[in-house]
Structure 1
């Protein structure tokens, strides 16, 4: 077994802020935890466990007393964490709370949605008071030297501001590249981060609206923070890690970037390996580097949960329940089918047929070259992994029943008594199954039903990431459901991803 890439100490990086102890605190939406980074040594320490009460931490800020406030986007909550580590809910029933800012003892939160609102919250009691409405996906915001709140409208490429005491909001800048975060450095200069693939940072003069920009080359910038020496550090929701940015753009990795999951894997006919990593599609180089092929703020059609290669094209299944044909050469894509619910495993044969598992609805679906959809199975408990053999037979793993089935007029059990079987793949005449509960790769013979352990593995899921979808309604903004994927490469090796490993593993026979 070989590891094709090294995992990052940070599994995604979203909101960041320096705490009173001088450490840089990092919210990790996909991971579900919060870490503290020593920006001198690069050491990373978990301070809020992914198994704790905060489900999807996205942004954070500190008040004058050292209390940390965190937006928990998907459940719609805002939390306060004291310096001693006690967590309490400050507000709930908000809709996608994301940006957060403190002004002395005052607390402000914006919603990341079309028609969102900006609120003042009262940590010691009282209902939220709306200050502004009509936000077009508000995100990371900050109070400026003038005492006003500055915040982005992501989808209209604008920066706005409003008095913390209310009143009419004002446009500060327009035509800003995909603004995701508004930050002031220690000298009071306004900088706006772009979440686009080039990682643009724009300087804005609030008085005139004039702008200038430089490019960092970091896709999916999320947030920025400045230390006491006014050194700029940025996070990336696409690639994780923390990067120090120089005055003209040169960067230095404080915490190395890496894969968020990964959540799906495939190899094309030349053996090139691709990994579906939620916010990006990555390829792995011979030197062990993961390189983005596309990102969700670029040419990817949506949040990507799995991938399978068919000829020169990649078939992508997305968090929004769609199948897309994607050309990694020119970045073009075509939506083939939609509405199949939250996806898991995907497979394809030499004739271009694509088969996918929809665990929430208990179905296995087949999509032919003309995009016609056929149900291969319905009423399964929790189908997650799928594989096709050379004869066109379809196999599916059902993680709830612990079985692997061969589908036909009547499903046939080919393996039973497995502990959470997920990814499956066929190599030669043998069927391989990832048994997540017991941490092993199982080798099965479909003809005889015999099985044995082929390899002990450390596989798992991102801690605390339960099934994000319900009733077959996928949500691209939620955390992925746990899934360990398995795929066969043209050279006969097996490729493994598990969203608790941080790497793609290759197992050779």
Structure 2
């Protein structure tokens, strides 16, 4: 599953090597190592034996060396936004543009890319019938339908069925039926593409994500909730556990040698599973998925990371990463920002319109507030009220009451609020897409723009002496801003931040997070290579 960014509400690489930094700071150091992808989803093995992987947020299709794990961009932005990939009988490659609502095809490596279907938001899974060349594709999450697509693009898609329950990663069987999971119903089914007839194949899944056949006709499926890879007996519907993996599984592919490859969106990983022995080998992976917003504990010992496909904590000394929540293995809803209250953690997701309030002591969910308009940040006031910034509406909302069900507009007229913090002086500070560092009085809602002409400012953190570090993502640098004078100075430039937003994403794409410790150490997240970095004062 992918976050359903509210695209209609928004107008729509640099290497760390050679980074330039102020003399009072050390060069950026990776606290958590970079990794490939930005969440990894659809997998396919083509006629040449190449393992291909799609990343929706990464807006690219990657080629992965099965032996070494080396990864390279195969088709990049903006045409590479692939949720799933399928190889046709003639070696053609097709893929789904999830947010773009497109299905794209390339007949071979040297052929041009053709868009053969449009205006189908949530294009998710697809597969060819190897005997007939027919192509099928499903909408999931932003739609719920199954289509036959003309590979030439000359005829309009034919609707096979709708309101299925999320027909996710499917494959055409030897009988011509389509076999795959119903994400929302916990079942694996088969669908007759001629008339849309549905038959249950197997039940008992938490959240089934994909199903594929091997060369012998065995059907395998993954359960993203439990992290299990299972084999399904087509005659009885009984399932056999093949391998225990981690939750947040997304897709699988099986090659001509019947090796099974499984993607995990929370770990940026692809694993190879031997179906005979259940042995698992990591091909490539990372400790973080898509690090965005950061919050530093009062003692500076830990960083909370809104990691989109997970919520995590990082030890600032060792770089050790602890999972607090994983997508589809918990109640996490694609967190993009994290705020630190006295006793609560405040996660926001502009993709699902959610404020998720968590108890800091026992990690239990206290509140899940839905229906917000692309919330981009949250802060806790001294009386326990929570202020949420809405990127879509340009408003700050004040939530109060025991269930946070009392809502009032604190301030409005903001031009794309991104990151928001509570200052040492009790004032609210935030960055705006339009290029502002802004202060808002939480008592009156009075709005004052302190600095302008910033180049897509995102992450924001206050230093011990009342200045602000701002991640200026469009310029790939960190600035130090004095709110009293408005003066700006560059702390570090040519940083691995500022990955361009893909189709359907807000202008920020994945916002860069920033946190500053009491000793002046600066931490920032990278939306280029998915690492977590620190700059230490000399």
TM-score over 0.5 for the pair: yes
User: For 1:404-483, what aligned pairs fall within 5 Å after superposition?
Assistant: 404-408=437-441, 410-429=446-465, 430-465=467-502, 468=505, 481-483=509-511
Q: TM-score, normalised by structure 2?
A: 0.84
Structure 1: state its 5+ residue gaps.
470-478
Q: Which moved more, 1:150-159 or 1:382-391?
A: 382-391
Q: Which moved more, 1:350-359 or 1:237-246?
A: 350-359
**Alpha-carbon deviation of 1:116?**
2.9
1-structure distance, mates of 2:197, 2:303: 52
1:222 is matched with 250
Over aligned residues, Cα RMSD in angstroms? 2.7
2-structure distance, mates of 1:154, 1:171: 13
Change (3 A) 1:374 1:37: same
2:85 is matched with 60
State which of 159, 171, 181 in structure 2 corresponds to 1:130: 159
Change (3 A) 1:101 1:262: same
State which of 148, 153, 159 in structure 1 corresponds to 2:188: 159
State which of 79, 82, 98 in structure 2 corresponds to 1:73: 98
**Alpha-carbon deviation of 1:363?**
2.2
SS in 2 for 1:437: helix
Change (3 A) 1:312 1:189: farther
User: For 1:108-507, what aligned pairs fall within 5 Å after superposition?
Assistant: 108-113=136-141, 116-124=144-152, 125-166=154-195, 168-196=197-225, 198-247=226-275, 248-270=277-299, 271-285=301-315, 287-319=318-350, 320-327=352-359, 330-335=362-367, 337-348=369-380, 352-367=384-399, 370=402, 371=404, 372-400=406-434, 402-408=435-441, 410-429=446-465, 430-465=467-502, 468=505, 481-489=509-517, 492-507=520-535
8 A contact 2:429–2:437 mirrored in 1: yes
Change (3 A) 1:11 1:405: closer
Q: Which moved more, 1:175-184 or 1:345-354?
A: 345-354
* Equivalenced residues, count: 496
Q: TM-score, normalised by structure 1?
A: 0.89
1-structure distance, mates of 2:388, 2:535: 24
Change (3 A) 1:167 1:242: closer
Q: Which moved more, 1:273-282 or 1:112-121?
A: 112-121
8 A contact 1:97–1:112 mirrored in 2: yes
Structure 2: state its 5+ residue gaps.
1-27
2-structure distance, mates of 1:70, 1:88: 11
Cα distance per residue 1:359-405 (max 9 Å; x no partner): 332223444575354544311223323232222122222331x3323
Q: Which moved more, 1:3-12 or 1:311-320?
A: 311-320
**Alpha-carbon deviation of 1:118?**
2.2
2:126 is matched with 100
**Alpha-carbon deviation of 1:317?**
0.8
**Alpha-carbon deviation of 1:103?**
1.2
Q: Stretches of 4+ moved more than 6 A in 1?
A: none
